[in-house]
């Protein structure tokens, strides 16, 4: 039995370029025959455009909790992995008032991430609503009025104070309740 790389130059007659830094297989190193290489050298005497390498964008994973069964993503900022116990209890109590449970939403702690990571998370999540508690990192809600739902197509966005601030202030609780009613109970 012969090596399959012996037949490769007969099937691929165009020049093969190896990009520096990429892993090479023995078959990929020399795939053009000498006749093809000299013919392409004559044809290819025009200057070649070389692109500058672009900076790699690192998307940092965001700590999340929940299964997003009802298409609702909730952004929080916390020093805890997701939320401290009191804030988590308050959040789920508020969500239960609009018929949402722990698995109906996806809670994401965006304290240590950049806007690219937030956009990547939203791109992979099927969501109809985004609630943002105590953060200005989410670009769509920068400069928006707190407790005032924003429609963007079929999606609704809401910016609020932090869960701790809401839990301690009756007026903020009322404002949140009114906003959530308009979003979830229509």
Whether residue 55 lies inside any domain: the answer is no
Q: What does the buried/exposed string (b/e) look like for 14-53 if buried means 16 or more CB atoms within 10 Å of the residue's CB?
A: eeeeeeeeeeeeeeeeebbeeebeeeeeeeeeeeeeeeee
Total count of domains within the chain? 2
84 and 125 together in one domain:
yes
- pLDDT tens digits, one per residue of 150-172: 999 999 999 999 999 999 999 99
- pLDDT tens digits, one per residue of 33-64: 445 444 444 555 555 655 666 666 667 789 99
Whether residue 58 lies inside any domain: the answer is no
111 and 158 together in one domain:
yes
Domain carrying residue 172 = 64-185
Token readout for 90 is 């308050």
132 and 171 together in one domain:
yes
**Residue recorded with tokens 């991430």:** 113
> What is the domain-level CATH number for residue 138?
3.40.470.10
Whether residue 50 lies inside any domain: the answer is no
| Mean pLDDT (10-residue bins), the chain, 186 residues | 58 64 51 48 54 65 94 94 94 95 96 90 93 88 89 93 96 96 88
């Amino acid at each position: 039995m012969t090596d399959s790389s012996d037949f490769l130059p007969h099937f691929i007659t165009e020049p093969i370029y190896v990009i520096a830094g990429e892993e090479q297989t023995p078959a990929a190193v020399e795939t053009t025959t000498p006749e093809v290489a000299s013919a392409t050298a004559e044809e290819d005497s025009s200057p070649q455009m070389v692109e500058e390498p672009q900076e790699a964008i690192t998307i940092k994973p965001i700590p999340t909790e929940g299964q997003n069964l009802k298409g609702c993503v909730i952004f929080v900022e916390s020093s805890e992995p997701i939320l401290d116990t009191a804030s988590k209890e308050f959040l789920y109590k508020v969500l239960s008032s609009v018929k949402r449970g722990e698995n109906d939403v996806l809670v994401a702690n965006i304290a240590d991430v950049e806007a690219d990571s937030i956009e990547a998370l939203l791109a992979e999540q099927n969501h109809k609503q985004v609630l943002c508690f105590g953060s200005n990192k989410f670009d769509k809600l920068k400069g928006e009025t707190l407790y005032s739902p924003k429609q963007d197509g079929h999606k609704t966005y809401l910016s609020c104070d932090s869960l701790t601030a809401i839990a301690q202030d009756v007026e903020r609780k009322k404002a949140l309740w009114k906003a959530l009613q308009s979003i979830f109970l229509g």
